[in-house]
Amino acid sequence: MQTTELPDAGGHFGQHGGVFVAETLVSALQTLRDEYLRARSDATFMAEFRHELKHFVGRPSPIFHAKRWSEHLGGAQIYLKREDLNHTGAHKINNTVGQALLARRMGKRRVIAETGAGQHGVASATVAARFGMECVVYMGAEDIARQSPNVYRMKLLGATVKAVHSGSKTLKDALNEAMRDWVTNVESTFYILGTAAGPHPYPMLVRDFQAIIGEECLWQMPELAGRQPDVVVACVGGGSNAIGIFYPYLQHESVRLIGVEAGGEGVLSGRHAAPLTANAPTGILHGFRSYLMQDADGQVLATHSVSAGLDYPGVGPEHAWLKDTGRAEYVAIDDDEALRAFHDLCRYEGIIPALESSHALAQAAKMAPGMDRDVILLVNLSGRGDKDINTVAAISGITL
């Protein structure tokens, strides 16, 4: 089977993916899948999605040739896909617009979401306001304390933020709580999931909504650079921005695809969020099977990364499959390397990148110097870094 024809009817990408949820959600997920498949082949729905992307999100996002940084590195040419210029400052809005349109099509007036750093919560609250829906966002109590500006943003947009006090009080606990809400309120409620993970059909539909990123690159790169890139690089948390730019390139077999995980303090230190690079075993979490950081008893391990958006112990099932097939390669970039790339992009190009995106930038910076000057690296700049300036300042010993 061709990679692009996946997942199969059960939501499998090879041995990964599937549906591992409470009985009450099985039929809700089937209904969602059926409705999504109808919507995908409905020209009116797709036209409305494109209209929202253009007029509300601000697409197409440009591609920018980072000439000064490339010259400084002294090798390959680095191009940036500017998802940081989208409304709300990252790629996440592409997916929340798509899912909000689906919610409206299904007659749901209440949406829920989980969030870690608050980026997906803000993107969900944004589309809920845009479409006049009630919105509840689950967020770990620990994250609420660390990300107060995003909590206030969600409130300004009319959302209710519910603190989750269980477990480590972070993203994975918020995800559990959102699923619990969905089980209870499945008739009235649409669950807007934030990354290309979770039970089928979420990994498929999030991928399809985010694929606009790569689809635009397919016509923008020939326009700007005269041809397609040699390498596409993207950071991987759950995997939505990476699969969004990779997916349209899967059939372009000469294009190398590199996913960059959060290496934290180094993969060998054990303090990281890089299940693919660390060769983690398969496991089941949040409704799907994939590679998952866990101990010998199957207990999910604590993760670490300077970037909250990459701090997840699992990875979307399609990336696990792309690793198995060898079509994509996965590497890790540690905190220090990401921070260096963050500062470099600020100083050489006048762009403050998200710390998540800085992992992909750092990988490009690692590869470029050893390459010919006519090699093209395309990096998905998944978001802007304004949200991260307090973190960076604190690491640099500066009090704002």
Ligand X SMILES: *Cc1c(COP(=O)(O)O)cnc(C)c1O
Report the alpha-carbon angle 52-56-57, nearest 5: 95
Contact in structure between 293 and 346 (CB atoms under 8 Å)? no
Q: Which is nearer to ligand X, 295 or 329 (CB)?
A: 329
Sheet containing 12-13: order of strands: 12-13, 16-17, 288-291, 282-285
Q: List, in order, residues 6 or more apart from 299 with CB less than 8 Å away.
A: none
Q: Which of 52, 114, 337, 356 is catalytic?
A: 114
Closer of 151 and 310 to ligand X (Cβ): 310
Q: Of the two residues 14 and 238, which places its CB atom closer to ligand X in the complex?
A: 238
Span of 173-181, 212-220, 238-246, 295-303 interacting with ligand X by CB under 6 A: 238-246
The 256-264 sheet, strands edge to edge: 63-65, 77-82, 376-381, 231-235, 256-264, 328-334
382 binds ligand X (CB under 6 A): yes
x/- binding map, residues 302-321, to ligand X, per CB under 6 A? -------xx-----------
Per the structure block, which two tokens stand in for 195? 């990354």
* Alpha-carbon distances, residue 355 vs 40, 91, 182, 261, 308 (angstroms): 33, 14, 31, 12, 8
**Of the candidate residues 354, 362, 364, 368, the single one contacting ligand X (CB under 6 A):** 354
When the beta carbons of 227 and 357 are compared against ligand X, the nearer one is: 357
Residue owning tokens 């929202």 = 52
195 part of the interface to ligand X, by CB under 6 A: yes
Q: Which two tokens stand for residue 158?
A: 């009319």
Tokens 């999910």 -> residue:
300
Between 14 and 309, CB nearer to ligand X: 309
Rule CB under 6 A: say whether 235 interacts with ligand X: yes
The radius of gyration computed from the CA coordinates of the chain, to the nearest angstrom, equals 20
Among the listed ranges 149-157, 236-244, 262-270, 283-291, the one in contact with ligand X (CB under 6 A) is 236-244
Q: Which of 59, 92, 172, 272 binds ligand X (CB under 6 A)?
A: 92
Task: Please select the residue that binds ligand X; options are 115, 147, 241, 277, rule is CB under 6 A.
Answer: 241
Alpha carbon distance 103, 36 (integer Å): 10
Residue 114 designated active-site: yes
The count of residues interacting with ligand X (CB under 6 A) is 19
Element containing residue 95 per DSSP (H, E) = helix 92-105
Binding status of residue 142 toward ligand X by CB under 6 A: no
Nearest distance from C-beta of residue 54 to ligand X, angstroms = 21
The residue (of 225 and 383) whose beta carbon lies closer to ligand X is 383
* Cβ-proximal residue to ligand X, closest one: 383
Residue 119 binding ligand X, by CB under 6 A: yes
Instruction: Please say if 382 is a catalytic residue.
Output: yes
Catalytic status, residue 358 = no
Residue 110 CA to residue 266 CA, distance in Å, equals 41
Half-sphere exposure of 99 (CA within 13 A, CB side): 33
Total residue length of the chain: 400
* Least distance CB 209 / ligand X (angstroms): 12
Binding residues for ligand X (CB under 6 A): 90, 92, 119, 195, 235-242, 309-310, 354, 356-357, 382-383
Catalytic residues: 92, 114, 382
